[in-house]
Amino acid sequence: MQVQINTKKDYYGKWVAKSRVALQGKQVLEVTTMKSDSGYLQTLASVVEVEESGTPGISITRFVMFQDFNVRVEISKPRVCTEKVVRAQQELALTRIEEIKANAIAFYQEKAVAA
């Protein structure tokens, strides 16, 4: 599966890579690679719910901590976090996108059974 990677600098000047993959309904699997305050480069996969806001080009993203799927996929501690390093780790994580998607779907199926 080919997944688009968007890289940009955040408010603090740190490189961030993001990719989105449709999951089910309004749910989207969001994979993000960024440097944490502890100095580690982390790649996280989270399921968010995306709704259109009514304004063209603007959407609302919702994530509920401890209720929605959220896992750390990769972690490293590079000497410097350049765009190239961040993108490379994002690409590495995306090689496992089918496995991550399956885990996310299973998470919500188990949650539905428990309810």
Task: Please report which confidence band the pLDDT of residue 111 belongs to, taking 50, 70 and 90 as the band edges.
Answer: confident
Dump pLDDT digits (tens) for 58-91: 888 899 998 999 999 999 999 999 999 999 999 9
At 6, list the tokens. Answer: 């968007």
Domain ranges in the chain are 6-114
> What are residue 83's phi and psi, to 5 degrees?
-55, -40
Two structure tokens written together for 72 = 């750390």
Q: What does the angle CA 61 – CA 110 – CA 63 come to, to the nearest 5 degrees?
A: 15
Query: What's the pTM?
Result: 0.90
Tokens of 91: 């690409």
Amino acid in position 90 = Q
DSSP 8-class letter at 54:
S
Strands 41-52 vs 27-35: parallel, antiparallel or unpaired: antiparallel
